[in-house]
């Protein structure tokens, strides 16, 4: 058996890899943001007064610098001889200077006496009254008398930078790596599990399919006929195409498995369980089936499909009672014509549905199959093109996420049940009243579409007339020539009067 991987599968691989990269990038950014926030909070808690330590260090440095500069100035400045300063300031010394001045010889350049300003600056320090109640050791001239006191400088030990050598600092990175490893392991496991389930189903049903079709497993790509090919659309979607049977064009089987390869989807399925679905579509020739619409399914699927599927919404708006037919109460029946129900449902179908009531999910037979109802159905101008006559069946694989190959292989009797339904549809024929009712229903649906189309055409014509009237009024208001404006007003008035006149049809009667 071969597995074909078309171009769409490669595109799906690329899109899956792109989604994985986007998720990983998003998680890494989120983890880095959380780590940065935790670090900032820890730094704030550990160093609440860190911002004030900088000011303390600067203040201590400035105080030490001032203290050192003062000591240097004190050492470099010579001591002031207060005795000589006092003698020079005495009256006797001044009188002696005046007496000696005439006897002295001056040069031309010696025109006065230069006094030291520094002496005058310290003259106020000689007064003892200026330093009352002041310690002696702090007075000028007595600084060197006592022993000097040494000031102890505060030394702040530099804290070394944070060394990232602890595993606790890589919690986010380790968590991210662990998540990636778990995701990759789950992807490999889920992909392998889905492939094994698809292969198990195909191997168990291939002998029966080969008995009923001449070609089983055609890839639909190569010009030559291929067999035993399980087409892989994605990691959870496989397709089998069969053809070469009398009365039908072909059969298409879709294996829609759970996305076991996706970890996020797997977590969602654990919260909200889901089943593996096997969908079988058999396309019949138009002459092999009478016109009718029939549907049978569980309550959940039947209600959902009656709202979404277009042919069921148009032809089978009412549900039928299944208790009279002996079917399980969990099913709901929709039938366009009453005689179709009694003609198709026999004892074999009833016994099979009662035995596999948890497996058979939906059966849909229609000659007007269109698919899902379009959103803008009211705006459709013509009836949608119907597909060929179709017999569709969906059944669920038991086990949900824990489904095994044995569970898939145990569904082989349902393939026999589907072909029994197919033969019943081919052999069933409506009565004349049934055909008239079916034709009437289809004619009514077509007329409803035509009425909708007619109403839409009338609405569009009315919009065009209003647009032309608005243009005429704008042209009339924009006209500057009074004569021309009066002519346009007369034309508009005639047009309005003509609309108000009753339409009379003239009939000529020949004289006898």
pLDDT tens-digit profile of 253-284?
Answer: 999 999 999 988 888 888 888 899 999 999 88
When pLDDT is averaged across residues 130-139 and rounded to a whole number, the result is: 55
Query: Do the domain assignments include residue 47?
Result: no
Query: Do the domain assignments include residue 93?
Result: no
Query: Do the domain assignments include residue 87?
Result: no
Q: What single DSSP character describes residue 157? A: P
Which domain range does residue 225 map to? Answer: 174-442
Under 8 Å between Cβ of 424 and 290: no
Share of the chain above pLDDT 90, in %: 17
Under 8 Å between Cβ of 365 and 295: yes
DSSP result, 100-131:
HTTTS---SS--S-PPPHHHHHTGGGG-GGGG
Residues in the chain: 512
Alpha carbon distances (Å) from 36 to 40, 41, 97, 263 = 6, 9, 85, 27
Rg (CA), the chain: 52
How deeply is 328 buried, as exposed, middle or buried, from its count of CB atoms within 10 A (0-12, 13-18, 19+)? middle
Q: What is the pLDDT of residue 98?
A: 54
Number of domains in the chain: 1
Q: Residue 487 — pLDDT band, cuts 50, 70, 90?
A: confident
Query: Do the domain assignments include residue 422?
Result: yes
Tokens read off for 58: 């600067």
Does pLDDT of 127 surpass 50? yes
Most confident listed range (3-7, 384-388, 389-393): 389-393
When pLDDT is averaged across residues 396-402 and rounded to a whole number, the result is: 86
- Closest CA relative to residue 215, chosen from 238, 240, 239, 242: 242
Tokens read off for 378: 């009211």
- Beta-strand runs (E) in 178-270: 215-216, 231-234, 237-243, 248-256
Q: Residue 178 — pLDDT band, cuts 50, 70, 90?
A: very high
Does pLDDT of 411 surpass 70? yes
- Closest CA relative to residue 252, chosen from 218, 280, 276: 280
Q: Residue 169 — pLDDT band, cuts 50, 70, 90?
A: confident
* Beta-bridge partners for 390: 283, 366
Q: What is the pLDDT of residue 140?
A: 52
The pLDDT mean for the chain works out to: 75
What is the b/e burial string over 284-311, where b = at least 16 CB atoms within 10 angstroms of the residue's CB? Answer: beeeebbbbbbbbbbeebbeebbeebbb
- Closest CA relative to residue 280, chosen from 246, 241, 249: 241
Query: Do the domain assignments include residue 129?
Result: no
Under 8 Å between Cβ of 387 and 371: yes
Q: What is the pLDDT of residue 187?
A: 93
Rounded to the nearest 10°, the torsion over CA 442, 444, 446, 450 is 180
Query: Do the domain assignments include residue 479?
Result: no
Query: Do the domain assignments include residue 229?
Result: yes
Does pLDDT of 401 surpass 90? no
Share of the chain above pLDDT 70, in %: 67
For residues 59 and 39, give the distance between their C-alpha atoms in angstroms, rounded to a whole number. 29
Q: First vs last Cα of the chain: how many Å apart?
A: 91
Alpha carbon distances (Å) from 461 to 375, 379, 451, 457 = 25, 16, 15, 6
Which helix (H) or strand (E) segment is 423 a member of? helix 412-427
Under 8 Å between Cβ of 428 and 344: yes
3-state SS, residue 148: coil
Alpha carbon distances (Å) from 502 to 432, 498, 499, 509 = 48, 9, 8, 21
Q: Spell out the residues 6+ positions from residue 494 whose beta carbon is closer than 8 angstroms to its own.
A: none
Query: Do the domain assignments include residue 96?
Result: no
Q: Which long-range contacts (CB under 8 A, 24 or more apart) does 148-151 make?
A: 151/67
Under 8 Å between Cβ of 254 and 217: no
Q: In which residue are the tokens 């009836």 written? A: 383
- Closest CA relative to residue 320, chosen from 309, 307, 306: 306
Q: In which residue are the tokens 């009662």 written? A: 354
CB atoms within 10 A of CB 155: 7
């Amino acid at each position: 058996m071969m597995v074909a991987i078309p171009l769409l599968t490669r595109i799906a691989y690329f899109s899956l890899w792109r989604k994985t990269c986007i998720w990983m990038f998003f998680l890494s950014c989120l983890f880095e943001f959380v780590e940065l926030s935790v670090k900032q909070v820890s730094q704030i808690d550990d160093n609440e007064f860190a911002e004030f330590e900088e000011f303390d260090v600067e203040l201590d440095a400035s105080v030490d610098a001032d203290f050192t500069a003062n000591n240097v100035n004190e050492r470099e400045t010579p001591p002031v001889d207060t005795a000589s300063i006092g003698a020079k300031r005495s009256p006797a010394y001044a009188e002696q200077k005046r007496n000696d001045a005439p006897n002295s010889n001056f040069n031309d350049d010696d025109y006065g006496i230069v006094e030291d300003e520094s002496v005058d600056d310290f003259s106020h320090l000689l007064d003892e009254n200026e330093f009352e109640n002041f310690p002696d050791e702090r007075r000028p001239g007595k600084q060197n008398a006592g022993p000097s006191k040494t000031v102890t400088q505060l030394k702040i030990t530099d804290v070394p930078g944070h060394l990232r050598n602890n595993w606790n600092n890589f919690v986010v990175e380790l968590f991210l790596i662990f998540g990636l490893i778990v995701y990759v392991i789950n992807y490999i496991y889920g992909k392998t599990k889905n492939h094994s389930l698809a292969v198990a189903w195909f191997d168990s049903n291939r002998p029966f399919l080969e008995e009923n079709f001449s070609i089983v497993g055609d890839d639909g790509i190569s010009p030559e006929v291929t067999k035993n090919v399980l087409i892989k659309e994605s990691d959870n979607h496989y397709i089998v195409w069969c053809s070469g049977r009398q009365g039908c064009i072909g059969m298409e089987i879709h294996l829609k498995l759970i996305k076991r390869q996706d970890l996020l989807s797997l977590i969602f399925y654990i919260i909200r369980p889901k089943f593996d679905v096997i969908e079988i579509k058999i396309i019949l020739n138009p002459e092999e089936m009478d016109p009718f619409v029939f549907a049978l399914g569980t309550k959940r699927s039947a209600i959902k499909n009656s709202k979404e599927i277009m042919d069921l919404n148009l032809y089978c708006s009412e549900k039928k009672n299944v208790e009279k037919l002996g079917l399980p109460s969990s099913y709901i029946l929709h039938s366009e014509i009453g005689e179709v129900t009694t003609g198709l449902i026999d004892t074999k179908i009833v016994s099979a549905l009662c035995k596999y009531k948890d497996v058979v999910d939906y059966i849909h037979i229609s000659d007007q199959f269109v698919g899902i109802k379009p959103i803008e159905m009211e705006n459709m101008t013509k009836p949608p093109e119907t597909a060929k006559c179709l017999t569709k069946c969906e059944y669920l694989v038991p086990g949900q996420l824990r489904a095994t190959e044995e569970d898939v292989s145990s569904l082989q009797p349902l393939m026999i049940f589907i072909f029994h339904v197919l033969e019943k549809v081919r052999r069933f024929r409506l009565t004349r009243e049934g055909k008239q009712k079916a034709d009437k229903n289809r004619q009514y649906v077509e007329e409803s579409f035509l009425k909708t189309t007619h109403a839409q055409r009338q609405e569009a014509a009315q919009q065009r007339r209003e647009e032309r009237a608005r243009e005429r009024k704008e042209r009339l208001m924009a006209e500057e020539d009074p004569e021309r404006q009066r002519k346009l007003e007369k034309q508009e008035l005639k047009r309005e009067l003509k609309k108000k006149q009753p339409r009379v049809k003239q009939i000529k009667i020949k004289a006898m």
